Amino acid sequence: MKNDIRHSDDIRTLVDDFYSVVCEDAMLKKIFVDVMNVNWQHHLPKMYSFWEKILFGTGDYDGRPFPPHVAVHQKVNLNPLHFERWLSIFESSVDKLFEGPKADEIKWRARTISTTWSHKFLYIHSEKE
């Protein structure tokens, strides 16, 4: 039996695993590595804090995550397939490492983000046409 997500070290393990897969994924690598050239030393701590805030109400994340993704969308037309792939990798990382109520909650929250943002970017794209 796997442990549930219990603290910030677990969030860090999850985020690190997730992005290690993203950086090798044929679809998402193009966005994160090739187009955006993400500074991982800067990005990963933000993601640790973001998910800690989402899951535990702790962490020091106080940003607005959607606007930076709009900037990405201006370079790469983010579409539902991108969000489906992102979610698939995220849920696979959670399932590989954890199980329990918090693991279920973080997957639910990721699905909510994926669905909402996918719809927002479809709307943004339709407004350009």
Residue range 82-113, pLDDT digits in tens:
999 999 999 999 999 999 999 999 999 999 99
Domain assignment of residue 85, given as a range: 8-128
Task: Render the burial of 102-126: b for 16+ CB within 10 Å, e for the rest.
Answer: bbeebbeebeebbeebbeebeeeee
pTM given for the model:
0.93
CATH of the domain at 119: 1.10.490.10
Residue 3 domain-assigned? no
pLDDT band at 128 (very low <50, low <70, confident <90, very high): low
Residue 107 domain-assigned? yes
Number of structural domains found in the chain? 1
pLDDT digits (tens, 9 = 90+) for 26-65: 999 999 999 999 999 999 999 999 999 999 999 789 889 8
